[in-house]
Amino acid sequence: MTFLLLTVSRNVAGSKAPRIGVLALQGDVREHCAVLRELGCDVIEIRLPSHLEGIDGLVIPGGESSVMDKLSRIFRLATPVREAIAEGLPVLGTCAGLIMVADRIEDAIAGQENFGGLDVTVRRNAFGAQVDSFETSLTVEGVAGPALDVAFIRAPEVTAVGPGARVIASLADGRVVGVRGGNIIGVAFHPEITGEDRIHRMFLELVAQRSLQRPAAVDA
């Protein structure tokens, strides 16, 4: 186990591994779960409000944001997730997950809602249809080592960044594809599909930092 994961495991829930939820209503849930388990996390798939209890962080995967929105309301997850984010739960949103945590959506379908929390505006499907998917190398602020190999699949674009967030990744043409603000990391791409785990490691650092800020539990 790497030094990072030793640190995370010691700082979250005592000596236990961090308990990370993956929103499992739709999208590439399995791939995110596999990366997180490989990094030593205790992973739970989130389908009901009760599944949120006791998690140290939440991953919102890629997929279809409008479908995630509808299902999150059907299963009464939308409000609990929104409240957890507002209370400081660390969140990683990838592709559609970025749309779900954005405060503003330029081209939302009629009635579409999101969780919010990240002070950005996004545009859905900014990189075209499924056939326009591509892989590229990308430098991300806060990620050491060589450029990341990542995939863009019907990806969104960040079109505006408010004062509550900052850009951490841009393409060569200047389009913003990675942002961070407070307890949230949002990226327009899929690191999990190409076998890249450094975005998840950065997210786990955020989880560990939050655990240090919370008061330790006192035994009765």
Q: What is the pLDDT, as a whole number, of residue 8?
A: 44
Q: What is the pLDDT, as a whole number, of residue 9?
A: 41
The single residue of 32, 41, 95, 157 carrying the catalytic annotation is 95
Active site residue 200: no
Q: What is the pLDDT, as a whole number, of residue 107?
A: 86
Measured N-to-C along each axis, helices 198-213 and 29-38 cross at an angle, to the nearest 10 degrees, of: 70
Active site residue 45: no
Query: CB of 197 within 8 A of CB of 189?
Result: no
Q: What is the pLDDT, as a whole number, of residue 215?
A: 60
Cα distance between residue 95 and residue 63, in whole Å: 7
Query: Exposure string (b/e) for 126-142, b if CB count within 10 Å is 16 or more?
Result: bbeeeeeeeeeebebee
In the three-class reduction of DSSP (H, G, I as helix; E, B as strand; rest coil), residue 188 is classed as coil
Annotate 105-156 with DSSP letters as a single string: ETTPPTT------EEEEEETTTT-SGGG-EEEEE--TT--SSPEEEEESS--
pTM of the model: 0.88
Please report, in tens digits, the pLDDT of each residue of the chain (220 residues total). Answer: 333 443 444 444 444 899 999 999 999 999 999 999 999 999 999 999 999 999 999 999 999 999 999 999 999 999 999 999 999 999 999 999 999 999 999 988 899 999 999 999 999 988 877 766 889 999 999 999 999 999 999 899 999 999 999 999 999 999 999 999 999 999 999 999 988 999 999 999 999 998 887 665 544 4
DSSP state of 219: -
Cα distance between residue 43 and residue 113, in whole Å: 26
Which phi-psi region, left, alpha or beta, contains residue 202 (left: φ > 0; alpha: ψ -120 to 50)?
A: alpha
Cα distance between residue 194 and residue 150, in whole Å: 6
Task: Give CA angle at 176 (115, 71), nearest 5°.
Answer: 25
Active site residue 190: yes
Cα distance between residue 96 and residue 105, in whole Å: 11
The CATH H-level (homologous superfamily) assignment of domain 3-213 is Class I glutamine amidotransferase (GATase) domain (3.40.50.880)
